[in-house]
Structure 1
Amino acid sequence: MPKALAGVKPRDADSSLRDAPIACHELDGEGNVVWINQAGCRLLGLPAKQILKRPIWEFVAPGERDSSRLAVQRKLSAELPLTVFERTYTRPDGSTLVLEIHEQYRRRANGSLAGIRSFMLDITARKRAEEELRKISDGLESRIRERTQELELAIDFVRREMDERRAAEKEHRKLEAQVQYSQRMESMGVLAGGVAHKFNNLLTTILGYASLAGTEMSQGSRAQEHLEQIIAAAGSAAELTQQMLAYSGRGQFDLKPLEVSPLVESTTRLLDSLVSRKTALSFELTENLPRIEADAGQFRQILVNLVNNAVEAMGERKGQIAISTGLVWAEGGELPPLNSGHMVPAGSYVYLEVADTGTGMDTATLAKIFDPFFTTKFTGRGLGLPAVLGIVRAHRGSIRVVSNPGEGTKIRVFFPALDDADLCEAAPAATSKVWPRAGTILVVDDEQPILRLAKTVLESAGLHVLTADDGNQAIQVFRAHASEIHAVLLDLTMPGMDGVEVFHNIHAFQPEARVVLCSGYDEHEASNRMGDRRPTAFLRKPYHPRELLKLLSTVW
Structure 2
Amino acid sequence: MRPMRSHEPLEPAEAFRRLQQVVDSIPHAAVFAQVIHPDGTMRYEHASEGFERLFGVAPEELLADPTTLDALILPDDLPRARLLTKAATAGQGLIDCELRVRSRTGVVRWVRIRAATGPLPDGSTRVSGIMADESDRKQTEVQREQVDQARRSSEEALVAAQSIAKLGGFRYHVPTRTVVWTDEMHRILGRDLRQEPPSFDELVKGVHPEDRPRFVEALDRCARDGAPYALEYRAVRPDGSVLYISGRGTARQDETGQTVEIFGTVQDITERVVEEQARVKVEERLLQAQKLESLGLLAGGVAHDFNNLLTGVLTEASLALDDLPQNSPAQAPLRTIEASARRMSEMTKQLLTYAGGGPFAAERLDPTRLVSDMVDALRRSVARDVRLMVDMPRQRGLDGAPLSSRGAPCIEADPGQLRQVVMNLVQNASEAIQGRSGDVRIRAWMEESAPISSGSGRQTSRPGGAGSWVLEVADTGCGMDAETRRRVFDPFFTTKGRGRGLGLSTVQGIVRRLWGQVEVESEPDRGTTIRLRVPLVPGMASVPVPRDPPSRAPIQRLRILVVDDEEAVRITLSRVLGRRGHTVAMAADGEEAVEVFRNARGDFDLVLLDISMPRKNGYEALEALRGVRPTVRVVMMSGYSEAHLTSAGIKGSQETPYDGFLEKPFAVESIDRVLGEALRTRR
Amino acid at match of 1:486: D
Partner of 1:165: 272
Please give the residue correspondences for 1:119-268 in structure 2 after superposition, counting only pairs within 5 Å: 146-147=156-157, 149-156=159-166, 162-258=269-365, 263=370
| Aligned-partner Cα distance in 2 for 1:319–1:425 | 30
- One-letter amino acid of the counterpart of residue 191, structure 1: L
1:462 aligns with 2:581: yes
Output the CA distance in 2 between the equivalents of 1:488 and 1:292: 39
Q: 2:487 aligns with which of 363, 367, 370?
A: 367
1-side partners of 2:546 and 2:441: how far apart?
44
Listed as ranges, the gaps of 5+ residues in structure 1 are 1-15, 17-89, 97-131, 337-343
Q: Which residue in 2 is equivalent to 1:552?
A: 675
Q: In structure 1, what is the Cα distance between the partners aligned to 2:370 and 2:147?
A: 81
Q: 1:93 to 1:238 in 2, by over 3 A?
A: closer
Q: Is the contact between residue 444 and residue 491 of structure 1 (CA under 8 Å) also seen in structure 2? A: yes
Count of equivalent residues = 428
Secondary structure class of the residue paired with 1:437: coil
What's the offset of the Cα at 1:465? 1.1
Counterpart secondary structure, 2:501: coil
2:566 equivalent among 432, 442, 447: 447
Query: Equivalent residue for 2:652?
Result: 530
Residue 469 of structure 1: how far off its partner (Å):
0.9
Aligned to 1:542: 665
Whole-Å separation in 2 of the counterparts to 1:505 and 1:396:
40
How far apart, in 2, do the equivalents of 1:401 and 1:507 lie?
52
User: How far apart, CA to CA, are the structure 2 residues paired with 1:279 and 1:229?
Assistant: 29
Secondary structure at the residue paired with 2:571?
Answer: helix
The answer on whether the counterparts of 1:392 and 1:398 sit within 8 Å (CA) in structure 2 is yes
2:94 aligned partner:
93
Structure-2 separation of matches of 1:211 and 1:179? 45
- Post-superposition shift, 1:209? 2.3
1:309, distance to aligned residue in structure 2 (A): 3.2
What amino acid is the match of 1:155? A
What is the distance in 2 between the residues matched to 1:335 and 1:482? 59
CA distance in 1, matches of 2:320, 2:473: 48
1:62-96 C-alpha deviation (Å, 9 max, x unpaired): xxxxxxxxxxxxxxxxxxxxxxxxxxxx9733779
Which of 493, 509, 516 lines up with 2:612 in the alignment?
Answer: 493
Q: Secondary structure at the match of 2:643?
A: helix
Aligned twin of 1:47: none
Structure 2 partner of 1:376: 495
- Percent of aligned pairs with the same residue? 31
**Match of residue 637 from structure 2:** 518
Q: Give the drift of 1:144.
A: 8.2
Q: CA separation in 1, counterparts of 2:483 and 2:396?
A: 30
Higher helix proportion, which one? 1
Change (3 A) 1:203 1:302: same
Report the alpha carbon displacement of residue 408 of structure 1 after superposing the two structures with TM.
7.2
What letter corresponds to residue 222 of structure 1 in structure 2? P
Q: TM-score, normalised by structure 1?
A: 0.60
Q: CA deviation at 1:470?
A: 0.2
> Using the alignment, how far apart are the partners of 2:608 and 2:628 within structure 1?
17
Partner residue of 1:309 out of 409, 412, 428? 428
CA distance in 1, matches of 2:658, 2:667: 20
Checking the alignment, whether the CA contact within 8 Å between 1:253 and 1:523 is kept in structure 2 is no
Q: How does 1:395-406 map to 2 (within 5 A)?
A: 395=513, 406=524
- CA gap of 1:377–1:502, structure 2 versus 1, over 3 A, is same
| Residues 538 and 382 (structure 1), Cα distance of their counterparts in 2 relative to 1, 3 Å cut | same
Relative distance call for 1:354 and 1:510 in structure 2 (3 A) is farther
Return the letter of the residue paired with 1:490: L
Distance 1:510 1:538, change over 3 A: same
Of 151-160 and 459-468, the range deviating more from structure 2: 151-160
Residue pair 1:204, 1:542 contacting (<8 A) in 2 also:
yes
- Letter aligned with residue 544 of structure 1: A
Partners in 1 of 2:398 and 2:563 — Cα distance? 49
| Contact 2:508–2:518 (CA under 8 A) maintained in structure 1 | no
Displacement after TM superposition at 1:207 (Å): 2.4
Contact 1:261 1:287 in 2 (8 A): no
- Give distance in 1, aligned partners of 2:330 and 2:549: 40
Does structure 2 retain, via aligned residues, the 8 Å contact 1:260–1:291? yes
Contact 1:435 1:554 in 2 (8 A): no
Q: Distance in 2 between matches of 1:352 and 1:455?
A: 48
Q: Which amino acid aligns with 2:575?
A: T
Aligned 8 A contact 2:522 2:529 in 1? no
Counterpart Cα distance in 2 of 1:537 and 1:172:
47
Normalised by the length of structure 2, the TM-score is 0.50
Task: Determine the structure 2 residue equivalent to 1:386.
Answer: 505
Q: Which amino acid aligns with 2:675?
A: L
Distance in structure 1 (CA, Å) of the matches to 2:509 and 2:653: 23
- What amino acid is the match of 1:492? I
Please give the alpha-carbon distance, in whole angstroms, between the structure 1 residues aligned to 2:153 and 2:159: 10
Q: Deviations over 1:401-443 (max 9, x none)?
A: 66675487676768798799xx999999999998433121111
- 3-state SS of the aligned residue for 1:490? strand
Pairwise CA distance, 1:468: 0.9
Aligned partners of 1:219 and 1:248: how far apart in 2? 41
Q: Deviations over 1:459-515 (max 9, x none)?
A: 221111121110111122233335421111112222342223223333454443322
Q: Residue 101 of structure 1 aligns with which residue?
A: none
Quick one: which amino acid aligns to residue 299 of structure 2? A
User: Alpha-carbon deviation of 1:376?
Assistant: 0.8
Tell me what 2:416 maps to: 297
Aligned-residue offset at 1:205: 1.1
Structure 2 CA distance for aligned equivalents of residues 313 and 440 of structure 1: 54
State the 1:141 CA deviation. 10
Ranges in structure 2 where 5+ consecutive residues have no aligned partner? 3-90, 98-141, 169-244, 246-266, 400-407
Measure, in 2, the Cα distance between the counterparts of 1:361 and 1:443.
54
Checking the alignment, whether the CA contact within 8 Å between 1:331 and 1:347 is kept in structure 2 is no
> Structure 1 355/162 Cα, relative in aligned 2: closer, same or farther at 3 Å?
farther
Query: Does 2:590 correspond to 1:471?
Result: yes
Distance 2:629 2:167 in 1: 72
Measure the CA separation in 1 of the matches of 2:146 and 2:348.
Answer: 88
Q: Deviations along 1:180-239, whole A, 9 cap, x unmatched?
A: 122223323322332233222222212222333334334423344443443333333333
Distance 2:562 2:484 in 1: 49
Considering only aligned residues, what root-mean-square deviation do their CA atoms show, in Å?
A: 5.4
Q: Contact 1:446 / 1:469 at 8 angstroms: preserved in 2? A: yes
Judge conservation of contact 1:471–1:494 (CA < 8 Å) in 2.
Answer: yes
